[in-house]
């Protein structure tokens, strides 16, 4: 068996948030439900959908979520970097050779982890399709049939935040990530009310979205540590690695980098600087399945926990579930997938099974999902780009 990739198809899409989600976010901090200083309204998700087509007719699916304030690249830039840079290192290649593909991409194209991750992700689906095996088989094998999920609570009026927390708790969620950063006193009030409302048996994590200076972040985190917080996400500016290390040295709560962490080197640097105590991963960071597996192996060797989190469509949600099911005992935290709650469509034919705050591993080869071509056409922002081997 020596399959070859003969075609790459890339489609940029924009999927709006559900109406009720938009209303909650618009009423929240900064008009986006978080303490991030941006000027543009956040009304939905921008994505690139990838189809890798093999000479045997099998198709591998990939998907990446992009948001300029965090990701720093647009769908058009991702497509351009693949069309004019990365494509030659996949076309004509065997999709099982993910290490060679990754090495070629890294040697010839600097950075571009999001674009590389999109292609890498599609290779794993293609491997599963070719062999009629689930993608998690190529990540070490499935260790659990379902994974626990975390719920996301935006930064808005405290009554709305508590109402959402109660709804998710009744739905079966046992882990909650809530947004902070309006002020330290506000952070304390929100944390106290959420812990009081949900009790001591749930797990809490917080996200500051770069809200504070290092000195203020220390005061803010120490002020809520009595509420037993699992970890605090991105309390200082995304580029301030020294500030992150300074904060981590002065608080007991583990920190996690998000907006400022894209590559394996970023992760290793932050860990070696003792700037983080939890590694955050998703399909874009540090760039696909291959690098996520490397990051998780590194984290396990260093005795550091990890968390998978994103708000993807159906393809990347399935990827996260497969990865979490394969590496479940290396994580230590519930996976946060919230695209199904936020976005009006998931672009797959059969919805994933989310029940009781859990996600079941999809059945079938590869990711176990099929792309909904009608939905793809509906939400596409420009025609599909097709790249073939010359």
Domain ranges of the chain: 5-132+371-388, 139-360
Within 13 Å and on the Cβ side, how many CA atoms surround 184? 13
- CA 74 remoteness from chain centre: 16
pLDDT in tens, the chain (390 residues): 799 999 999 999 999 999 999 988 888 888 888 988 888 888 899 999 999 999 999 999 999 999 998 899 999 999 999 999 999 999 999 999 999 999 999 999 999 999 999 999 999 999 999 999 999 999 999 999 999 999 999 999 999 999 999 999 999 999 999 999 999 999 999 999 999 999 999 999 999 999 999 999 999 999 999 999 999 999 999 999 999 999 999 999 999 999 989 999 999 999 999 999 999 999 888 999 999 999 999 999 999 999 999 999 999 999 999 999 999 999 999 999 999 999 999 999 999 999 999 999 999 999 999 999 999 999 999 999 999 976
Q: Is the pTM for the entire model greater than 0.95? A: yes
With CA atoms as reference, report the closest residue to 314 among 116, 12, 65, 58.
Answer: 65
CATH topology for 139-360? Answer: TIM Barrel (3.20.20)
**DSSP track, 308-365:** EEE---HHHHHHHHHHHHHSHHHHBS-BEE-HHHHBS--SBSS---EETTEEEPPPSS
Q: Write down the CATH superfamily of domain 5-132+371-388.
A: Enolase-like, N-terminal domain (3.30.390.10)
């Amino acid at each position: 068996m020596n399959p070859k990739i003969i075609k790459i198809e890339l489609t940029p899409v924009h999927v709006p948030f559900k109406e009720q989600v938009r209303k909650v976010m618009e009423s929240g901090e900064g008009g986006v439900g978080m303490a991030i200083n941006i000027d543009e309204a956040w009304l939905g998700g921008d994505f690139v959908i990838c189809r890798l087509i093999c000479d045997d007719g099998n198709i591998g699916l990939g998907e990446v979520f992009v948001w300029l304030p965090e990701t720093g690249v647009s769908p058009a830039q991702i497509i351009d970097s693949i069309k004019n840079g990365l494509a030659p290192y996949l076309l004509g290649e065997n999709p099982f050779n993910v290490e060679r593909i990754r090495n070629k991409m890294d040697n010839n194209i600097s950075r571009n982890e999001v674009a590389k991750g999109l292609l890498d992700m599609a290779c794993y689906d293609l491997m599963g399709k070719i062999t009629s095996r689930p993608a998690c088989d190529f990540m070490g094998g499935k260790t659990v049939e379902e994974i626990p999920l975390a719920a996301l609570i935006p930064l808005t009026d405290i009554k709305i935040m508590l109402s959402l927390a109660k709804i998710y708790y009744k739905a079966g969620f046992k882990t909650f990530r809530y947004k902070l950063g309006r002020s330290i006193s506000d952070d304390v009030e929100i944390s106290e009310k959420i812990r009081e409302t949900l009790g001591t048996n749930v797990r809490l994590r917080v996200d500051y979205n770069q809200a504070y200076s290092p000195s203020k972040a220390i005061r803010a985190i120490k002020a809520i540590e009595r509420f037993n917080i699992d970890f605090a996400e991105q309390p200082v500016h995304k580029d301030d690695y020294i500030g992150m290390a300074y904060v981590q040295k002065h608080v007991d709560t583990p920190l996690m980098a998000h907006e400022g962490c894209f590559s394996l080197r970023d992760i290793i640097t932050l860990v070696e600087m003792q700037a983080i105590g939890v590694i955050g991963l998703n399909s874009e960071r540090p760039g696909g399945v291959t690098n996520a597996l490397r990051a998780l192996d590194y984290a396990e060797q260093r005795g550091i926990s990890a968390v998978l989190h994103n708000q993807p469509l159906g393809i990347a949600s399935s990827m996260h579930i497969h990865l979490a099911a394969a590496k479940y005992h290396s994580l230590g935290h519930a996976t946060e997938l919230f695209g199904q709650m936020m976005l009006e469509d998931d672009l797959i034919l059969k919805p994933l099974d989310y029940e009781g705050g859990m996600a079941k591993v999809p059945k079938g080869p590869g990711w176990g999902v099929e792309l909904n071509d009608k939905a793809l056409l509906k939400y596409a922002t420009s025609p599909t780009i097709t790249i073939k081997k010359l």
